[in-house]
Amino acid sequence: MCGRLSQYTGIHDFVAVLSMPNAMVNSAGDLPLERYNAAPSQQLALLYQENDTLHADLVRWGWRPHWAKDRAPPINARVEKVAHGPFYRPIWPHRAITPINNWFEWVDEGGPKKQPYLIRRRDLAPIFCAAIGQFPTAGREPGEHDGFVIITADSQGGMIDIHDRRPVVLNPELAREWLDPATPPERAEQMVLHQGEPAEAFEWYKVDRAVGNVRNQGPELIRPITDPMP
């Protein structure tokens, strides 16, 4: 999974699809998020549950443990290792959902520049990416070491032609279970290993290369193109 995604609808639109009866503490705001071209290290809306309360906070995309200062904060964690490796052990218990509208991948099609593709659900529903992270629980203020990573798995089907990795996407029912602090870690691991949405749930199409510049924002970045510029 490459490091670019869209998160442009409002947090209430995402939560409505989750159908969670929980009370919500929302610090992400009530307006549309309008991030059509979100990149690593930016603050993105993240959902997590504390006791019976759902939280929506803006958290940095990317995290590393305090001792790993010799590398940039990863933005993704491989599902095959995330539950047991020492790197992510401190945050494996802290499950979250990154709600997005789509993500982008770049494909080498033999031209001078790679061609960006937008990937979204075929039914146009929100995409609930399984994530883990460090975020302001227990009423503490946000800290400089807060951040999250999106869990990724091997691509399947035709999606392999776009990229060899993809986010682990959970349907609303599984997303609610993933967020629930009462869900045992062993069950959570099995969910992300075996119950992510299949490639058939998604579609993809070419978009303008302007999405390659993170300074570009706006709905024109998510529109399909038929004849990309060389």
Is 2 a known active-site residue?
yes
How far apart are alpha carbons 18 and 77 in whole angstroms? Answer: 23
Indicate the helix (H) or strand (E) that contains 192: helix 185-194
Vertex 26: Cα angle to 119 and 120 (nearest 5): 5
Q: Which two tokens stand for residue 115?
A: 């061609």
Q: Which of 34, 50, 80, 105 is catalytic?
A: 105
In sequence order, what are the residues at sequence separation of 6 or more whose Cβ sits closer than 8 angstroms to the Cβ of residue 29?
10, 11
What single string gives the DSSP state of each residue in 144-182? TT-EEEEEEEE--GGGGGT-SEEE-B--HHHHHHHH-TT
Is 129 a known active-site residue?
no
Contact predicate 149/132, CB 8 Å: yes
Parallel, antiparallel, or unpaired for β 76-78 and 202-206?
Answer: unpaired
Handedness of CA 149, 42, 4, 118 (dihedral sign): positive
Indicate the helix (H) or strand (E) that contains 127: strand 127-134
Active site residues: 2, 105
